Amino acid sequence: MKNIFGLVVLVLVGLFLVIMLRTLMFSPPYFEMEEQVAFDVDAGLVAQHLSEAVRFKTVSPPEPQRREYKPFDDFLAWAEATYPKFHELEKTVVETHTVLFKWQGTNSDLKPILLAAHYDVVPVVPGTEESWDHPPFDGVIADGQVWGRGSLDDKSGVILMMEAATLLLEQGFEPERTVYFSFDHDEEIGGNEGAAGVVKLLKEQGVQLAWSIDEGSFILKDMYPGMDVPIASINIAEKGYMTLDLVAHGDSGHSSMPTKDASIFLLASAIERLRENPIPGGLEGVSLDAMDVIARHMSFTRRMLFANRWLFQSVIEKELSKVPPMNASLRTTTAPTLLSAGIKDNVLPGTATATVNFRIHPRDTHEGVIEMVRQIINDDRIEIIHWDKGSVASGESDSQAAGFEVIAKVSRQMFGPVVVIPGMTGAGTNSKHYASVADDAYRINLLVVGPEDIAGFHGTNERISVENLGLGTAAYAQLITLGTVE
Ligand SMILES: [Zn+2]
C-alpha cells in the first residue's frame, strides 16, 4: 500500500515537472527588432482624400441590377483627378467599374504581385442613421478620425494604395517586379464581375502572380484577452458560405385548439437543437498555428494549457469555444438569421421557415454539414432546402513563402513589435477569386484596429484614425518597395 502511494506521488511529481518544464519552454520566439522605416507622408492630406472618397455613395445593393452607377463613375473621375501621377500607369476598365492598373517592372522574368481593395460599400442599415455620431456619407474628420461608411471597409485600402504608389512614383522608384492594383466595385456582393473579370483577364494574358494582398484582416490591437502586443494576422485562408432554409411542416388550423405539432413549435425545437449542438470542431491547422504563437504571449496559466495540449486539448477547445471569434476559427458556425411564418394572430400556420447561415470551416463540405444538420434536428417534418448561392472554404496559402515574409517584415517595420500569425478570414473576400491566379493569396489591411473599430465594420460609426492613415500609407509604400525586389 505504501509502495503504491509512493508510486502515485512520484508519477504526480513527474507529471507536474513535465507540465512546468514545457510551460517554461513555451515562450515567444526571439526575433530581431526591425529597424523602423520612415516615409514623408502628410497624414492630414491622406485623411482629406479619404474624407472626399467617403462622400461618393458607392453602395452595393443586395441585387446588382438595382445598382446606381453614377456615384461609381464620379468616384473614378475623382480618383483620376486626385491621383494624376498614379493614373499615368497602364489602366484597364473591367466589367464596367473595376479598374486594374499595371506598374510595369524592370524585370519581366519575375512574377508580378497584386494589391487589391474595393471601393463599393455596404448600405447603412435603415433606421440606424441617427445612431451615427457623424452622418455616414459626409466624410467628417473629427477627433482624429475620418468617419463614414467605407472609411475602414475598404475605401481606406484603395486610398492608401494610390497614396503609396504616388509617393514612390514621385521619388522615381522603379519596381523590379510588375505590380498590379485592382480597385473593385462589387466585392460586397461577391466580386463576380470585378475581381472575377480581373482574374479572367490575367488568365487570358497568361499572368500568374507571385502573390496577392487584399482585405480580410488587420493588425489587431486589444483583440485577444491577455495580449498586450498587437497581432498582425496575415490570413492565408477564408471560410466558405452556405445558407439553408429549414421549413417546418406542422398542424394548421384555428389557434383556439393548438397542438404540440404546430409548425412554429417544431421549428423552435429544431433551432434549439442547433443551438445546443454546434457543428463539431477542433483546434488544428491554421487556427492551431495561430494560437501556438499567440498563447506564448499570454498569462502563465494559459501558457501552461497550450504548452501541454497533449493533456489539456479538450479544456482549451472548450474555453476557446466560448469566445465567438475563437469559436469561429474552430468550426463551421451556425447562425439563424431570418424567420417567417403565419398570416394572422389567430391562425396556426401550416409551415414555418427559418433561414440559417453557416460559415464553412475548411475541414467541412456543404453536403457534410447538411447531413450533420439533418442528424442534429432529427425530425423529418423539417424540410431542409439548400440555397444555391454559397462558396466552399478556400485552400491555404503558404505562411512560409516570400510574400508572407515581406508582409510580416513590413508590419514589424512600420508598426513596431507586433506578433505575426497566419489566420483565417471568417467572411468572404475577393481573394477567393485572386487565389486562382496567385501562388499565394494573403488577406490583411495594413492598419491597426481595435474592438471599437471592428464594431464599425458593416456597422455603425465606421471610422479610421488619421494617424493610422499616415502609417498605412507608409506601410504600403514599404510593401511595394520590398515586395517588388527579387
Ligand atoms: Zn470589405
Q: How much distance in Å is there from the Cα of 223 to the middle of ligand 1? A: 19
Active-site residue (options: 95, 120, 186, 238): 120
Catalytic residue among 187, 188, 193, 453: 187
CB atoms within 5 A of ion ligand 1 belong to: 153-154, 215
On whether the 238-386 domain is CATH 3.10.580.10, my answer is no
Q: Tell me what the mean pLDDT of segment 118-128 comes to.
A: 93
Bridge partners of 232, per DSSP, are 219, 420
Could you tell me the distance, in angstroms and rounded to a whole number, from the CA of residue 428 to the centre of ligand 1? 9
Q: What is the pTM of this model?
A: 0.91
Q: Using the mean position of ligand 1's atoms as its centre, give its distance from the Cα of residue 458 in Å.
A: 9
Place of cell 494559459: 302
CA 289 – CA 233 distance, rounded (Å): 11
Percent of the chain with pLDDT over 90: 80
* Centroid of ligand 1 to alpha carbon of 50 (angstroms): 15
Q: Where are the domains of the chain?
A: 43-236+396-483, 238-386
Q: Which residue has the higher pLDDT, 33 or 370?
A: 370
pLDDT at residue 64 is higher than 80: no
* Neighbour-count burial for 281-304, b at 16+ CB within 10 Å, e otherwise: bbbebbbbbbbebbbbbbeeebbb
Least confident piece of the model among 28-37, 69-78, 113-122, 229-238: 28-37
Residue among 314, 357, 359, 312 nearest 337 (CA): 357
Quote the ligand 1 centre to 120 CA distance (angstroms): 8
Q: Residue 37 pLDDT > 90, yes or no?
A: no
- Condensed to tens digits (0 to 9), the pLDDT of residues 173-208 reads 999 999 999 999 999 999 999 999 999 999 999 999
C-alpha span between 231 and 214 (Å, rounded): 17
Higher pLDDT, 459 or 279: 279
Is 42 a residue of the active site? no
**Residue located via cell numbers 429549414:** 246
Ligand 1 centre and the CA of 152: distance in Å?
A: 8
Going from the Cα of 330 to the center of ligand 1, the distance in angstroms, rounded, reads 23
* Closest by CA position to 308, among listed 6, 2, 11, 26: 26
Name residue 386's beta-bridge partners.
Answer: 244
pLDDT at residue 63, as a whole number: 77
Q: How many CB atoms lie within 10 A of CB 73?
A: 14
Is 288's pLDDT higher than 90? yes
Query: What is the Cα–Cα distance from 118 to 195, expressed in whole angstroms?
Result: 9
**CA of 403 relative to ligand 1 center, distance in Å:** 21
β-strand partners of 257: none
| Residue 398 annotated among the catalytic residues of the structure | no
Same fold, 43-236+396-483 and 238-386: no
Contact 237, 468 (CB under 8 A): no
pLDDT of residue 376: 98
Q: Is the pLDDT of residue 144 over 70?
A: yes
CB 191 within 8 A of CB 201: no
Query: If you write DSSP's letter for every residue of 83-119 in order, what string do you get?
Result: -TTGGGSEEEEETTTEEEEEE--S-TTSPPEEEEEE-
Query: 8 CA distance to ligand 1 centroid (A)?
Result: 57
For 377-411, how does the pLDDT look when each residue is reduced to its tens digit (9 = 90+)? Answer: 999 999 999 998 788 999 999 999 999 999 999 99
Q: Do 461 and 133 meet the contact criterion of CB atoms below 8 Å apart? A: yes
pLDDT tens digits, 311-349: 999 999 999 999 888 899 999 999 999 999 999 999 999
Q: Which CATH superfamily does the domain covering 43-236+396-483 fall into?
A: Zn peptidases (3.40.630.10)
Question: 83 CA to middle of ligand 1, Å?
Answer: 22
